[in-house]
């Protein structure tokens, strides 16, 4: 179970990083189309740049869903393990 939790936590971080890198690439493509306002760079930015931006958003959205579905269970288990029925000052 610990291996699965570690894998899920690692994949959330990995998905967020991939989303950031994809967003930066999409932004660079959009900036090139602004600096070189010819038809082909603009069409390229409107098609490929937006597709990469959508992929970045999908990666980020998947990481949020993965974190919310697994993070809640981890937090509940952590709270249950720290509560022993005694006040905090008596546990220490």
Q: What is the pLDDT of residues 6-16, one digit of tens each?
A: 666 678 889 99
pTM over 0.85: no
Q: What is the pLDDT of residues 68-79, one digit of tens each?
A: 887 655 554 555
Q: What residue ranges do the domains of the chain occupy? A: 7-81
Q: Which long-range contacts (CB under 8 A, 24 or more apart) does 13-16 make?
A: 15/59, 15/60, 15/62, 15/63, 15/66, 16/59, 16/60, 16/63
Q: What is the pLDDT of residues 25-50, one digit of tens each?
A: 999 999 999 999 999 999 999 999 99
């Amino acid at each position: 179970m610990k291996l699965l939790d570690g894998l899920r936590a690692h994949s959330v971080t990995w998905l967020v990083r991939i989303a950031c890198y994809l967003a930066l690439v999409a932004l660079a493509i959009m900036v090139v189309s602004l600096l070189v306002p010819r038809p082909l760079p603009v069409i390229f930015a409107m098609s490929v740049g937006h597709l990469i931006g959508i992929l970045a958003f999908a990666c980020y959205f998947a990481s949020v869903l993965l974190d919310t579905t697994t993070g809640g269970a981890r937090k509940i288990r952590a709270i249950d393990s720290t509560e022993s029925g005694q006040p905090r000052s008596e546990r220490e």
